[in-house]
A and B are shown apart, each in its own frame.
Chain A
Amino acid sequence: MKFIVSLFLTALLAFVAGLFTQLPWWVFVVTSFVVAALLHQTPGKSFLSGFLGLFLLWVVLAFIKDAANEHILSAKVALILPLGGSYMMLILITGIIGGLISGLAALTGSFVKK
């Protein structure tokens, strides 16, 4: 249960913080850290809920934009980066980068207590 709540809170707070686009893109580092510090889990679980929270958030947000855009831009960016023009890969990489940083922030948070 704690895991699910952590994951959900991580995603929600990252989303809300991300609405303030004057703040840097990595503002979720703070929210993921705080969530993990307050809702204590084992380091492994903290990392995972932190990772998945951001991974899912970014994948869903990117997917919504991409679907409405009919892959016009993602196909181009996936050639520039280069990912062979695959928009799926691009969405996946987007999620992994967000997830990784958030997971590490949550891991850090999990070491605060005790």
Chain B
Amino acid sequence: MRIVPLLVSALLTWGAVHLFNTQLAVGGSKTPRLGYFLSPQHGFWQNAEATDVNYNDNIQLEGLAGKVDVYIDDRLVPHIYADEDNDAYYVQGYLHAKFRLWQMEFQTHVAAGRLSEIVGKERIGTDKFFRRLGMVYGAERTKAYVEKNNPEMQSAIDAYAKGVNAYIAQLKPEEIPFEYKLLDYKPEAWTSLKTYLFQMFMSYDLTGRGAVTDLQMSNARNYFSYKDFDLLFTDVQDSLDPIIPRGTVYANPAIKPVAPADVQTAYLGDTAGSSTALAPFIPNKSNGSNNWVVGGTKTKSGRPILANDPHLGLNLPSLWYEVQISTPTHRTYGASFPGSPAVIIGFNDSIAWGVTNAGRDVLDYYDMKFKDTTLNEYWFKGQWVKAEKRIETIKVKDSATIQENIAITVFGPTMYDHNYKNSGSGGKNLALRWTAHDGGSGLLAFYKLNHAKNYDDYLEAISHWNSTGQNFAFASKTGDIALKQQANFVARWYRQGDFILPGQDSAYAWQGFIPTEENPMIKNPERGFVSSANQKSTDQTYPYYLGAASNFPVYRGVIINRKLTELTKATPQDIQRLQMDNYNVFAEMARPILLKYIDQSALTADEKKYINILSTWNLISDVNEKGATVFNVIWDSLETTIWSDEFSGATTSLGWPDEITLLESIKRDSLYSFADNIKTPNKKETIADAVMEAVKKATAVLVKAEKEGKLEWSLFKDTRVSHLLKINALSSLHLPIGGGKHIINATTETHGPSWRMIVHMTDEIEAYGVYPGGQNGNPGSKYYDTFMKHWATGKYYPILFMHLKDAPSNKRIKWLMTFTQA
């Protein structure tokens, strides 16, 4: 034996194994363990699914009550036929896991503040934020509430969890999804709590903006004084076309919220508080949606057509997963959330429903005084009150575990304190009052909608929705159409909760929730349609304050209602075109104002060219329109010109006023005082000066875009659907799609219609759907992004909604999975 060479080569072998078995740091991120990742029998090659994959299978599982047949169609949509509801949810859990396991776990890890556990210390900030926001706290409370009050819902969620775990249990090490191998961790068991965490994730996405805007608004009020603030962040929206038509008469309110006596000095006054912290994360302002129902009087068939397109961040794998669930109690089809049982947006044999975000304010901050930094006691109603304590433990990959100590007050968890602050917070203690923490029935409303047969069932079902405000649109085969805004909405006095509220007594506490029968509601209106697009639900005669106007975009609602009013003899194809409509009604109102202030004689040749493109533009933001680019760039420049001088002096983020505020103030009063650049004391700029300045700034941007060949709207906008890990190679980039902000086709750079659905309530339901993604979450599957092109180009898939007897012979059915008891 040659000892020295033996030892040397053994050492080299060990070194090579070690090198390729370690995550190496490269340019700020980490490689996978390359040997493992590239090993054809262990690593990513195992996730390269054959393009002629065969999904036929006979699966035996413990815990099923009977037999379940799953017919899978050519788009990889499963049609589940079970003898018991809970068996159907069991199998839905199994299928979600089979096709979306990594995403399900990742999204709930985000919600639970557990990212650092898998990626390391760079995500501690995100985790702390979500922990302190009470995401886990809220999920636990919802779970406890449902377990106590809704045993049927709980057993569905438990059956679903069993299905997920049944899949995980049979998963071989080499079969774990691609992303686990890339980031080097392993799936853990699913729990029912994760379903509630996912619901918190959606609650945050849809109403969590308040966690930021309430701080921004408080900062802006302090910076500008309330008088100027009220001009900049006005409650007035001249162009508003509310969800409930103007002129509707509202009953006397059951609750008359009364503002505290010191509201002028202690709350609205300039000195009401100092600037405070800003949250590091903010849900997208465009998280909105469209839904509408056209009644039989306006359709060719005489039957209602329902349409819905929820606008959310666009990601791969998609938030949505299509499924048909058929049991003896119901036959339902629609988009489901991987992570939750049942269908969220869809239809059944009798009815269809769709949701949009209500935008109502369900989250407030209270300014608390603690006795000392232990946060054990806080001052409330003239005495020291003991705070409950909650400890959040954050595990960190390759680093020490962190503990967050959160004091729970009478209002809710203390999100900001001396330990958790950022520039400008001054250690302020802010307790969070958020309806998402209240427990409540969770998914029960959707579970019941899945089973609903008629209008009364619909009303009863949605009465259980109490977390975050949604507009539920409804249509039935019998011809009823309706729309109701539903949640536990706070009965607010004017401006209550727009800013941080004083929290040392109950004077500023919520005085009650609006009774559900007083929530805005419309059924079978004379105009023949109902619609919502996140605008204010009512005019000023509704007896409750809806929340700051900046929560409510105006223009999509205007154009949808205009188009629906014009519509006659509509077919599903007309409705498809309407969902993809790219007309910019905001530009229709803003362009004449811009052109009015432009002095043609003072323009350079380049400027003239672009103004010419703008003035001849057809106002349609289609893929190839240059006018859409010019308009957007000029308008952005005008906002910068008008606001940046006034806002640049602030040390904390304020958030600029809305576009509607700028447009309508210019319209109302041409001497809009903010046009003056306060940095040029010797000169008083006018609106015309500001517009000319904006054209000049915009031209520089446009010249550059034109040089790069990106003047066409879709190239300039550059829509993409990113993988949840923001890895470009796993994303769909440069999608050829028009639309944008204020447009019915609300597709911006990273955000837009995440599921488009149209349901025609004929005897055998005729439905269409498409989402930007594919049914299989595996980047190595042919079905990963199958629908992307259809989605971008405005095409729809006819939805297969089958009876069991027709399934085996249907030509679009490609595979059959049968599930039986083990």
The interface of chain A, by Cβ under 8 A from chain B, is 15, 18-19, 21-22, 24-26, 29, 33, 43, 57-58, 61-62, 65-66, 68-70, 72-74, 76-77, 79-81, 93-94, 97-98, 100-101, 104-105, 107-108, 111-114
How distant is the Cα of A12 from the Cα of B35 in the complex, in angstroms?
A: 19
The interface of chain B, by Cβ under 8 A from chain A, is 1-2, 5-6, 9-10, 12-13, 16-17, 20-21, 31, 34-36, 38-52, 172-174, 178, 182, 727-730, 779-782, 784
Shortest C-beta distance, A28 to chain B (Å), equals 9
Given contacts A68-B51, A70-B51, contact A18 B45 (CB under 8 A): no
Given contacts A72-B48, A73-B178, A101-B20, contact A58 B40 (CB under 8 A): yes
Interchain CB contact under 8 A, B780 and A72 = yes
Partner of A65, one of B45, B779, B781: B45
Interchain CB contact under 8 A, A21 and B41 = yes
Interchain CB contact under 8 A, A107 and B174 = no
CB neighbours (8 Å) of A114 from chain B are: 1-2
Shortest C-beta distance, B772 to chain A (Å), equals 18
From B785, which residue of chain A is reached at the shortest CB distance?
A72
Shortest C-beta distance, A31 to chain B (Å), equals 13
Given contacts A62-B45, A97-B20, A112-B1, contact A73 B780 (CB under 8 A): yes
Given contacts A76-B730, A105-B13, A111-B6, contact A93 B38 (CB under 8 A): yes
From B43, which residue of chain A is reached at the shortest CB distance?
A25
Given contacts A25-B36, A72-B781, A79-B729, contact A111 B5 (CB under 8 A): yes
How distant is the Cα of A112 from the Cα of B5 in the complex, in angstroms?
A: 10
| A interface SS class | helix
Offer 8 A-B interface pairs, CB within 8 angstroms, sorted by A. A15-B41, A21-B41, A21-B42, A58-B38, A58-B40, A72-B51, A73-B178, A101-B17
Partner of B38, one of A15, A19, A97: A97
Closest 5 CB pairs of A and B: A73-B780, A61-B40, A79-B729, A69-B48, A18-B41
Given contacts A29-B17, A69-B51, A112-B1, contact A19 B6 (CB under 8 A): no
From A100, which residue of chain B is reached at the shortest CB distance?
B16
CB neighbours (8 Å) of B781 from chain A are: 72
CB neighbours (8 Å) of B6 from chain A are: 108, 111-112
CB neighbours (8 Å) of B34 from chain A are: 97
Interchain CB contact under 8 A, A80 and B41 = no
Given A26-B20, A62-B40, A72-B782, 7 additional A-B pairs, CB 8 A: A25-B36, A26-B35, A80-B727, A97-B20, A100-B16, A104-B16, A108-B12
Shortest C-beta distance, A55 to chain B (Å), equals 12
Shortest C-beta distance, B487 to chain A (Å), equals 41
Interchain CB contact under 8 A, A21 and B172 = yes
CB neighbours (8 Å) of B50 from chain A are: 68-69
Partner of B1, one of A24, A66, A74, A113: A113
CB neighbours (8 Å) of A79 from chain B are: 728-729
Shortest C-beta distance, B39 to chain A (Å), equals 4
Shortest C-beta distance, B482 to chain A (Å), equals 45
CB neighbours (8 Å) of B16 from chain A are: 100-101, 104
Interchain CB contact under 8 A, A22 and B173 = yes
- Kindly count the residue-residue contacts between A and B in the assembled complex, taking CB atoms under 8 Å apart: 127
Partner of A104, one of B2, B9, B45, B173: B9
Shortest C-beta distance, A30 to chain B (Å), equals 11
How distant is the Cα of A93 from the Cα of B769 in the complex, in angstroms?
A: 42
Interchain CB contact under 8 A, B780 and A25 = no
Given contacts A21-B173, A29-B17, A111-B9, contact A74 B48 (CB under 8 A): yes
How distant is the Cα of A21 from the Cα of B186 in the complex, in angstroms?
A: 14
CB neighbours (8 Å) of A70 from chain B are: 51, 782
CB neighbours (8 Å) of A68 from chain B are: 48, 50-52
Interchain CB contact under 8 A, A108 and B9 = yes
Shortest C-beta distance, A15 to chain B (Å), equals 8
How distant is the Cα of A12 from the Cα of B784 in the complex, in angstroms?
A: 34
Shortest C-beta distance, A104 to chain B (Å), equals 4
From A57, which residue of chain B is reached at the shortest CB distance?
B40
From A18, which residue of chain B is reached at the shortest CB distance?
B41
Shortest C-beta distance, A66 to chain B (Å), equals 6
CB neighbours (8 Å) of A62 from chain B are: 38, 40, 45
From B3, which residue of chain A is reached at the shortest CB distance?
A111
How distant is the Cα of A74 from the Cα of B43 in the complex, in angstroms?
A: 12
Interchain CB contact under 8 A, B45 and A108 = no
CB neighbours (8 Å) of A69 from chain B are: 48-51, 780
Interchain CB contact under 8 A, A94 and B9 = no
From A105, which residue of chain B is reached at the shortest CB distance?
B13
Given contacts A73-B48, A77-B44, contact A58 B13 (CB under 8 A): no
Interchain CB contact under 8 A, A26 and B729 = no
Interchain CB contact under 8 A, A61 and B1 = no
How distant is the Cα of A76 from the Cα of B780 in the complex, in angstroms?
A: 8
From A66, which residue of chain B is reached at the shortest CB distance?
B48
How distant is the Cα of A27 from the Cα of B465 in the complex, in angstroms?
A: 54
Interchain CB contact under 8 A, A21 and B38 = no
How distant is the Cα of A79 from the Cα of B730 in the complex, in angstroms?
A: 9
From B39, which residue of chain A is reached at the shortest CB distance?
A25
Partner of B46, one of A33, A43, A57, A65: A65
From B46, which residue of chain A is reached at the shortest CB distance?
A65
How distant is the Cα of A26 from the Cα of B41 in the complex, in angstroms?
A: 11
Interchain CB contact under 8 A, B45 and A76 = no
CB neighbours (8 Å) of B727 from chain A are: 80
How distant is the Cα of A22 from the Cα of B16 in the complex, in angstroms?
A: 21
Interchain CB contact under 8 A, B39 and A76 = no
Shortest C-beta distance, B28 to chain A (Å), equals 14
**Centre residue among B31, B39, B47, B729 by max chain A CB count within 10 A:** B39
Interchain CB contact under 8 A, A97 and B35 = yes
Shortest C-beta distance, A99 to chain B (Å), equals 11
How distant is the Cα of A111 from the Cα of B182 in the complex, in angstroms?
A: 36
CB neighbours (8 Å) of A19 from chain B are: 41
From A69, which residue of chain B is reached at the shortest CB distance?
B48
Interchain CB contact under 8 A, B20 and A18 = no
Given contacts A19-B41, A69-B50, A114-B2, contact A108 B13 (CB under 8 A): yes
How distant is the Cα of A68 from the Cα of B41 in the complex, in angstroms?
A: 15
Partner of A94, one of B21, B40, B172: B40
Shortest C-beta distance, A71 to chain B (Å), equals 9
CB neighbours (8 Å) of B10 from chain A are: 108
Shortest C-beta distance, A89 to chain B (Å), equals 12
How distant is the Cα of A29 from the Cα of B40 in the complex, in angstroms?
A: 15
How distant is the Cα of A29 from the Cα of B17 in the complex, in angstroms?
A: 9
CB neighbours (8 Å) of B48 from chain A are: 65-66, 68-69, 72-74
CB neighbours (8 Å) of A21 from chain B are: 41-42, 172-174
How distant is the Cα of A80 from the Cα of B781 in the complex, in angstroms?
A: 17
Shortest C-beta distance, A86 to chain B (Å), equals 13
Interchain CB contact under 8 A, B779 and A76 = yes
From A26, which residue of chain B is reached at the shortest CB distance?
B17
How distant is the Cα of A76 from the Cα of B46 in the complex, in angstroms?
A: 14
Given contacts A76-B730, A79-B728, contact A18 B42 (CB under 8 A): yes
How distant is the Cα of A25 from the Cα of B730 in the complex, in angstroms?
A: 25
Shortest C-beta distance, B698 to chain A (Å), equals 35
Shortest C-beta distance, A113 to chain B (Å), equals 7
Shortest C-beta distance, B773 to chain A (Å), equals 15
How distant is the Cα of A54 from the Cα of B213 in the complex, in angstroms?
A: 59
CB neighbours (8 Å) of A111 from chain B are: 1-2, 5-6, 9
CB neighbours (8 Å) of A108 from chain B are: 6, 9-10, 12-13
Partner of B729, one of A80, A93, A94, A113: A80
CB neighbours (8 Å) of A65 from chain B are: 40, 45-46, 48
CB neighbours (8 Å) of A57 from chain B are: 40
Shortest C-beta distance, A82 to chain B (Å), equals 8
Interchain CB contact under 8 A, B36 and A73 = no
How distant is the Cα of A98 from the Cα of B36 in the complex, in angstroms?
A: 10
CB neighbours (8 Å) of B36 from chain A are: 24-25
Given contacts A104-B16, A111-B5, A112-B6, contact A73 B47 (CB under 8 A): yes
How distant is the Cα of A76 from the Cα of B20 in the complex, in angstroms?
A: 20
How distant is the Cα of A105 from the Cα of B16 in the complex, in angstroms?
A: 10
**Centre residue among B13, B43, B728 by max chain A CB count within 10 A:** B13
Given contacts A25-B43, A61-B41, A108-B10, contact A43 B173 (CB under 8 A): no
